[in-house]
A and B are shown apart, each in its own frame.
Chain A
Amino acid sequence: MKSISNLFVSSPHGKVGLTTNQVMRMVCYACIPGIAAQTFIFGWGVVVQALLCILIALASEALVLSLREKPVRRTLSDGSAILTGLLIALSIPPLAPWWISVIGVSFAIIIVKQLYGGLGFNLFNPAMAGYVVLLISFPVAMTNWLPVQQVMTYDISFLDCVSSIFTGFTLDGYSVNQLRIAVDGITMATPLDHFKTQIDLGLTASEIIKSPIYGEYGGTGWEWVNLGYLVGGLLLLKQGIIRWHIPLAVIASLFTLSLISYSITPDLSLTPMITLFSGATMFAAFFIATDPISASTTVRGRLIYGAIIGMLIFMIREWGGYPDGVAFAVLLANLTVPLIDYYTRPTVYGHKAKG
């Protein structure tokens, strides 16, 4: 009966939009496939780190809000601080010491987000700005990624992870550097890092890719993480939380550029597939670049914005000093957003388009 009565209600039909809280919660849920993959590959550290970062994010947001005399509980419950904390936790190495999370998350929330005026006013993506602060401040600790669990010498439990994050050693007394030594006794770098150093040593791409840290489509393990975020991202698309323009533009421009590079110099470049399925490509395309506050707001602008991010990721990976460049790419693209928005304003119906 109810559905029938709804049919006869005359227009206008109001449609209730999603609240900030619902959007943020959906994005957090969509991270779950990626988090699951990351936990399966890199161990419980990911989960511990996520809990720690969310806690710090909430605490620092509450601190600033009370200093600014704003409503604390209402703002905290919009979930944006939780999401920022979660995104940083997923970007940093799982066994990074606790003070790294504290510095990164509190910088992101206090300086990048709240000092600019809080949610909706920040110029830069808070999570990525916090990550960049960590990356340029502590380059060594921030590149200490564990090898994938399948090739690790030691098994580490949940408690080992907690102990390692807070004291620097597992319960058995192994340091993170000892854990990083893989089965064959060689310290394992991430696939992108490994590729960069080996190319500098004069090896060709086909020789490097034979190493066990490369899988079928991407880095071993990393391909599953990227697949997890791809699934989560498609879920977000289906729910209408994000729109297709930015992720497609990021992936398309990164794919095109690496395809060109691969066809010109196959010995010096990763295949386009490995490029897409290693590092933080999918995470960036669906979860970072689509941040509604710091991204472009027009349809054409979003395509340009995404393409710039893809291009910068490619350039930093290819010629830059860092193995992956997602955070820098997103921050640089954030800077271009006012200009892009200015030049891509849609024409109002009835007005003539310029030029």
Chain B
Amino acid sequence: MTNTTTSEDIVADDHNANEDVSSEVTEKKPNPFTLVDWSTIAKEGLWKNNPALVQLLGLCPLLAVTNTFINALGLGIATMLVLIVSNLTISLVKDWVTKEIRIPVFIMIIASFVTIVELLMNAYTYGLYLSLGIFIPLIVTNCAIIGRAEAFASKNPPINAAFDGFMMGLGFMFILLILGGVREILGQGTLFYGAHLLFGEWANDIELQIFQFDQQFLLAILPPGAFIGMGFIIAGKNYLDNKQLDNQKNKKANKVERARVTTVN
């Protein structure tokens, strides 16, 4: 009997303690729906949860159009625009959309923005519109966009959602650009080839011929080159993450050692 009472007491104490802690936390941290946690969202989008590197979403356009830097930039900007406005809209309408029909509604919203972007590109960057081809309408099916709508925009306030769309889009574009640049240099020895398609006639001057080949290195331009390049980029990210982890461990180890030394003294 005594045993049980003591254990109950302990449990009760624990419970109280927990409540105290949680109330403290909520006092320190205001309601997450009012504060925009900019740096976390940015870190998630650019590095920790990068749609291309970690979630491995949207690989189809990623691998298909990154044969030149400018193509990658065009698709990156288009995807980012769609991500921002679709996240914003979905976050605005989330309270009126019931759970059962949310996916069709999300797709409709995304599709209409993709259509807008497609028409804009058709009007202002026609050359790029031609060279990206089917991959502009296919942004609708980019899992990164519907993924963010489902995982973030439908649960967060509009400003957060729009910022998340911007950061995710930036992270996606960042990888597109690396892959596009590397493949273009290895494949045809140029950089910014076709820049006038995106920026107008003046951009002909920024096309660089880095080195001259007799024959193009077709592997880098063809899809297998994209897969291999992607593998190397992911490996590079894992390498950097592991290195950071090691550094942290070393720091901790150093601290412990120092503590012991001081006590000895």
Contact surface of A with B, Cβ cutoff 8 Å:
103, 111, 133, 136-141
- Closest B residue to A100 by CB, please name it: B215
- Closest A residue to B217 by CB, please name it: A137
Q: Compute how far the CA of A111 lies from the CA of B235 in the bound complex, rounded to whole angstroms.
A: 13
**Interchain Cβ contacts under 8 Å between A and B, 18 examples:** A103-B217, A111-B228, A133-B219, A136-B218, A136-B219, A136-B222, A136-B224, A137-B216, A137-B217, A137-B218, A137-B219, A137-B220, A138-B215, A138-B217, A138-B218, A139-B218, A140-B215, A141-B215
- For A111, list chain B residues within 8 Å (CB): 228
Q: Compute how far the CA of A348 lies from the CA of B222 in the bound complex, rounded to whole angstroms.
A: 46
Q: Compute how far the CA of A240 lies from the CA of B221 in the bound complex, rounded to whole angstroms.
A: 44
- For B220, list chain A residues within 8 Å (CB): 137
- For B217, list chain A residues within 8 Å (CB): 103, 137-138
Looking at the assembled complex, report how far the CB atom of B233 sits from the nearest CB atom of chain A, in whole angstroms: 14
- For B219, list chain A residues within 8 Å (CB): 133, 136-137
- For A139, list chain B residues within 8 Å (CB): 218
- For B216, list chain A residues within 8 Å (CB): 137
- For A141, list chain B residues within 8 Å (CB): 215
Q: Compute how far the CA of A298 lies from the CA of B216 in the bound complex, rounded to whole angstroms.
A: 42
Looking at the assembled complex, report how far the CB atom of A132 sits from the nearest CB atom of chain B, in whole angstroms: 9
Of residues 202 to 234 in B, which have CB atoms within 8 Å of A's CB atoms? 215-220, 222, 224, 228
- For B224, list chain A residues within 8 Å (CB): 136
Looking at the assembled complex, report how far the CB atom of A46 sits from the nearest CB atom of chain B, in whole angstroms: 22
Chain B contact residue count (CB 8 A cutoff): 9
Decide if the interface of chain A is mainly helix, strand, loop or mixed.
helix
- For A136, list chain B residues within 8 Å (CB): 218-219, 222, 224
Q: Compute how far the CA of A238 lies from the CA of B147 in the bound complex, rounded to whole angstroms.
A: 60
- Closest B residue to A107 by CB, please name it: B219
- For A140, list chain B residues within 8 Å (CB): 215
- For A103, list chain B residues within 8 Å (CB): 217
Looking at the assembled complex, report how far the CB atom of A332 sits from the nearest CB atom of chain B, in whole angstroms: 14
Q: Compute how far the CA of A111 lies from the CA of B220 in the bound complex, rounded to whole angstroms.
A: 14
Question: Which of A103, A138, A139: most chain B CB closer than 10 A?
Answer: A138
Q: Compute how far the CA of A293 lies from the CA of B141 in the bound complex, rounded to whole angstroms.
A: 40
Q: Compute how far the CA of A111 lies from the CA of B217 in the bound complex, rounded to whole angstroms.
A: 17
Looking at the assembled complex, report how far the CB atom of B220 sits from the nearest CB atom of chain A, in whole angstroms: 8
Q: Compute how far the CA of A329 lies from the CA of B215 in the bound complex, rounded to whole angstroms.
A: 26
- For B228, list chain A residues within 8 Å (CB): 111
Q: Compute how far the CA of A133 lies from the CA of B218 in the bound complex, rounded to whole angstroms.
A: 9
Q: Compute how far the CA of A103 lies from the CA of B216 in the bound complex, rounded to whole angstroms.
A: 13
Looking at the assembled complex, report how far the CB atom of A140 sits from the nearest CB atom of chain B, in whole angstroms: 7
- Closest B residue to A168 by CB, please name it: B214
- Closest A residue to B215 by CB, please name it: A138
- For A137, list chain B residues within 8 Å (CB): 216-220
Q: Compute how far the CA of A133 lies from the CA of B219 in the bound complex, rounded to whole angstroms.
A: 7
Q: Compute how far the CA of A138 lies from the CA of B217 in the bound complex, rounded to whole angstroms.
A: 7
- Closest A residue to B222 by CB, please name it: A136
- For B222, list chain A residues within 8 Å (CB): 136
Looking at the assembled complex, report how far the CB atom of B133 sits from the nearest CB atom of chain A, in whole angstroms: 22
Q: Compute how far the CA of A140 lies from the CA of B228 in the bound complex, rounded to whole angstroms.
A: 23
Looking at the assembled complex, report how far the CB atom of B260 sits from the nearest CB atom of chain A, in whole angstroms: 31
Contacts A138-B215, A141-B215 known; list 16 others, CB within 8 Å: A103-B217, A111-B228, A133-B219, A136-B218, A136-B219, A136-B222, A136-B224, A137-B216, A137-B217, A137-B218, A137-B219, A137-B220, A138-B217, A138-B218, A139-B218, A140-B215
- Closest A residue to B225 by CB, please name it: A137
Q: Compute how far the CA of A141 lies from the CA of B215 in the bound complex, rounded to whole angstroms.
A: 9
- For B218, list chain A residues within 8 Å (CB): 136-139
Q: Compute how far the CA of A138 lies from the CA of B220 in the bound complex, rounded to whole angstroms.
A: 11
- Closest B residue to A111 by CB, please name it: B228
Question: Which of A137, A138, A140: most chain B CB closer than 10 A?
Answer: A137
- Closest A residue to B221 by CB, please name it: A137
- Closest B residue to A97 by CB, please name it: B214
Q: Compute how far the CA of A253 lies from the CA of B222 in the bound complex, rounded to whole angstroms.
A: 32
Looking at the assembled complex, report how far the CB atom of B88 sits from the nearest CB atom of chain A, in whole angstroms: 42
